[in-house]
Amino acid sequence: MILPNCDSNADAFNSVYRNASKAALPWFAWLRGIAGILLIAYCLSPAGAHAQSPDSLIVNGKSLLSEGYNQADVGKMKQSVSLFSRVATGSPSRSAYGHYYAAFAYTRIVNIVGNKDEEQALDYLDAAIEHLKKAIEQDAEFADAYALLASAYGRKMGMKPRLGMFLGPESSKLMKKAKSIEPNNPRTVFIQATSDFFTPETWGGSTEKAVDGFERAIELFEQETVTDPIEPSWGHSDAHAWLGYAHMKEGRYEEAESQFERALSINPDYGWVTDVLMPQLNSRKESASAEG
């Protein structure tokens, strides 16, 4: 049995579509839509996954995760976890990346479901933590994995403060390790800034400290060039969104709006910005204007 190649079939069909006569274009457009649906369904199936290389599974999973996160579509995000998990268990050379991205997907899912179902969110965080431990076991110099694990512990402490005595020191140790490996990794700096944002001043955090961190992360993102699609590259639009959120919290509405616009210039489909943050900002600006 010859299995379809999920990496090349879409390109091949698009080539036929581009070269079709104008009279045939409507028919080809309909057929391309049907073929695309079938190809996606196949590539997400176990047989389709085995037909793809580990790198292709990761790239496709990253695309699916990004789309799902932008749309707050947990179903799509879980599909990405399935692709990453196949890499984690089936490709020794890419296993660390598979575990890392499966964990990253779970943390993104927590962003969506956290306020609705805390127990489920904790289950997702635990799954992320286990994946990240395995990623670090397989690559002891994986700075992004250390930083994301530190963040996962921090978020778990936020939901279960009584765990702080145990997880707090471990989270700090992991972040210190991430910084020692790649001190100018923008995602590490961004994750530290989000931690500073939520940490009370009595424990060393503050909004202004977070603002400095987000601004530094943005500088590093602007300098970063990721040529290998397997490497982590997320975070640039997030840093602008969080910087805007911090400004909005402090009543700096013009600065907030500027950062939200910059986030959307990087990721135009960023649902958290378009559907949540911008409406909140507009509401606050209207209230401030009415009071003034």
pLDDT (0 to 100) of residue 32: 47
pLDDT (0 to 100) of residue 51: 62
Q: CA–CA separation, 244 vs 254, rounded Å?
A: 9
pLDDT (0 to 100) of residue 292: 64
pLDDT (0 to 100) of residue 46: 52
CATH code for 184-292? 1.25.40.10
Please state the pTM of the whole predicted model.
Answer: 0.83
Encode pLDDT of 194-211 as tens digits: 999 999 898 889 999 999
CA atoms within 13 A on the CB side of 18: 6
Rg, Å, the chain Cα set: 21
Encode pLDDT of 134-168 as tens digits: 999 999 999 999 999 999 999 999 888 888 888 98
Which residues, given as ranges, of the chain have pLDDT below 50? Answer: 1-5, 7-32, 35-39, 42, 47, 49
